[in-house]
Amino acid sequence: MIKIYNTLKGKKENFVPLNGNKVNMYACGITVSGPAHIGHLFQALIYDIIRKYLKKRGYDVTYARNYTDIDDKIIINANKLGVDAKLFAEQKIKEIDDDMSYFQIGEPDLWMKATENVDHIIDFIKVLIEKDYAYETENGDVYFRVEKFYDYGKLSNRNLKDALNGVRVENSEEKENPLDFALWKSAKPGEPSWDSPFGKGRPGWHIECSVMNHQAFGDQVDIHGGGRDLIFPHHENEIAQSEAYSGKEFVKYWTHNGLIKINGQKMSKSLGNTILLCDLRKSQHPEVVKFAMLQNSYHNDINFTDELFRESEKHILDFHKVINAVEEKFNSTSAANTQIDAEFNACMDDDFNTAKALANLYGYFKEINKKLAAGDDSALADVKAIKETYSLLGLFVNPSKDVITFIESKSKSAIPAEIQELAAKRAEAKAQKNWAEADALRAKITELGFMIKDSKDGYEIVKM
């Protein structure tokens, strides 16, 4: 039985879908106001893994993600460049799709775009107005009447009195209550707009996801995911809109991934520490990034540091070297080791515990190394199992030789030519058993800020 942590209930629960074996899941996607960053990748990876694991366990999964392609920031950034907001958003979507493809993130079953659902959004708002959950203002805005929805705050554990604490809200004299949020924003000069019964305008942010969920799955969804920063107000407002509309529980299981820190600080544009995917792909292999991301519970924040990337790179390199050695040495037709897959499933059944699943790898590869040294060809059955099982996490899906070449060539290119030349001379001196010369060259390399690590396979140069 799969257990999943449900933010709504504040605990792990047995996963029982609403409709037999059928699972509908929706994850909030990217607002395409700029390039994708490492936080977007983390969220996309987590829900891709959840979808794949549920399928592995026999569920019939339909997974939807959205692009918010109309938004204040999109309009502002498009205007800065003097381009049409629609064209700006389309270009960003292409760039983001390319980045996600590089990092080998699976496509959802359904891609939803806000601008393709404006007519449905208008119809949804009309129902909320008819039910007295929403009201129009004289200038053409439409707001959701928060006080009328008695369950408001149930996801974030906030009551109406403290719901505004620490939250930025749009102020308007036409609001009945400061908590009321926009369903429809009246048109402003130079902004994209659509005709509606309320006047020309465009959708608010929260209503877009409620409607796209409804278009994909109807009144109810099994799993709804997103970053923890979306719990309030975005997901809280989604619940209010959707349950006011249908009178049914909107989502059975709410799941939220942690946020990103860079060297202990919150990642933010204002701090200038944002890691963009277009930059990350120049320096890191997809498997290294995924290994770094999956070492903790997906609920927890990740603190990205140079050390985390270095350690993850080393582990991935070591693993692939073992895989390559086993595949070159043995040619067995034996089936994969089923125990490895069973242990993986036990980890993932516990709220998709990738951290524990990755921790198991160290023991597996230790045993494989022993078998390799002993000439035991059952090592190949273990390697087959690891490759088949851990491909679900996006690991060991690339040819080992390619991964090794990528990481080692990157490491060499980061080492100055002078250091590489000294290291080569030292290796030559060692081969000739000129130990004094070898020691002198090592000392020179150390003096220049680098360290030589010898191994049975040769040596590695590391910056100190």
Type of residue numbered 296: N
Res. 417 pLDDT band, cuts 50 70 90: confident
Evaluate if residue 165 carries a pLDDT over 80: no
CATH topology of domain 3-261: Rossmann fold (3.40.50)
Q: Do 56 and 391 form a contact (C-beta atoms < 8 A)?
A: no
> Span 431-450, mean pLDDT?
88
Tokens in use for 207?
Answer: 């209503």
Q: Tell me which of 17 and 333 has the higher pLDDT.
A: 17
pLDDT at 409: 87
Cα 380 to Cα 372: distance, rounded to the nearest angstrom = 9
Q: Where are the domains of the chain?
A: 3-261, 306-400, 415-463
**DSSP for 222-244?**
EEEEEEGGGIIIIIHHHHHHHHH
Q: Are 281 and 99 in contact (CB under 8 A)?
A: yes
In this prediction, residue 431 has a pLDDT band, given cuts at 50, 70 and 90, of confident
37 burial via Cβ count (<10 Å: 0-12, 13-18, 19+): buried
Whole-number average pLDDT of the chain: 94
Closest CA to 194 of 94, 88, 123, 110: 123
Dihedral sign, CA of 186, 190, 196, 199? Answer: positive
Q: What percent of the chain has pLDDT over 70?
A: 97
How far is residue 27's CA from residue 195's CA, in Å, rounded to a whole number? 29
The pLDDT tens digits of the residues spanning 287-298 come to 999 999 999 999
Chain centre to alpha carbon of residue 144: 31
Q: Is the pLDDT of residue 70 over 90?
A: yes
Q: What is the identity of the amino acid at 386?
A: I
Sequence-distant (≥ 6) Cβ neighbours of residue 343 within 8 angstroms:
360
pLDDT confidence of residue 421: 87
**Tens digits of residue pLDDT in 368-399:** 999 999 999 999 999 999 999 999 999 999 99
Tell me if 341 sits within 8 A of 380, measured CB to CB.
no
Give the pairing type, strands 3-6 and 11-14.
antiparallel
Provide the pLDDT for residue 374: 97
Average pLDDT over residues 82-110: 98
- Crossing angle of helices 286-293 and 306-329, in 10° steps, is 120
163: pLDDT strictly greater than 80: no
- How far does CA 308 lie from the centroid of its chain? 17
Mean pLDDT of 97-124: 98
Beta bridge partner(s), residue 29: none
Higher pLDDT, 163 or 349: 349
> Which of these ranges, 155-164, 262-271, 317-326, 401-410, has the smallest mean pLDDT?
155-164
Structure token pair of residue 311 = 């350690």
pLDDT beyond 70 at 323: yes
pLDDT recorded at residue 167: 58
Look at residue 79 and give its three-state secondary structure: helix
How far is it, in rounded angstroms, from Cα 336 to Cα 57? 18
Task: Name beta bridge partners: 144.
Answer: 134, 181
**Model confidence over 10-31: pLDDT tens digits?**
999 999 999 999 999 999 999 9
Question: Quick one: pLDDT at residue 461?
Answer: 84
Q: Is the dihedral of CA 297, 301, 307, 309 positive or negative?
A: positive
The predicted pLDDT at position 420 comes to 85
CB-based burial, 286-324: b 16+ in 10 Å, e otherwise:
bbbbbbbbbbeebeeebebeeebbeebbebbbebbbbbb
212, 64 Cβ separation under 8 angstroms = yes
DSSP state of 291: H
3 state DSSP class of 61: strand
Write the CATH number of the domain with boundaries 306-400: 1.20.120.640
Q: Is the pTM above the cut of 0.85?
A: yes
The Cα–Cα gap between 379 and 376 comes to 6
By DSSP bridging, strand 260-262 and strand 302-304 are: parallel
185-203: pLDDT as tens digits? 999 998 999 999 999 999 9
Q: How far apart are CA 312 and CA 332, in angstroms?
A: 30
Cα 439 → chain centroid: 47
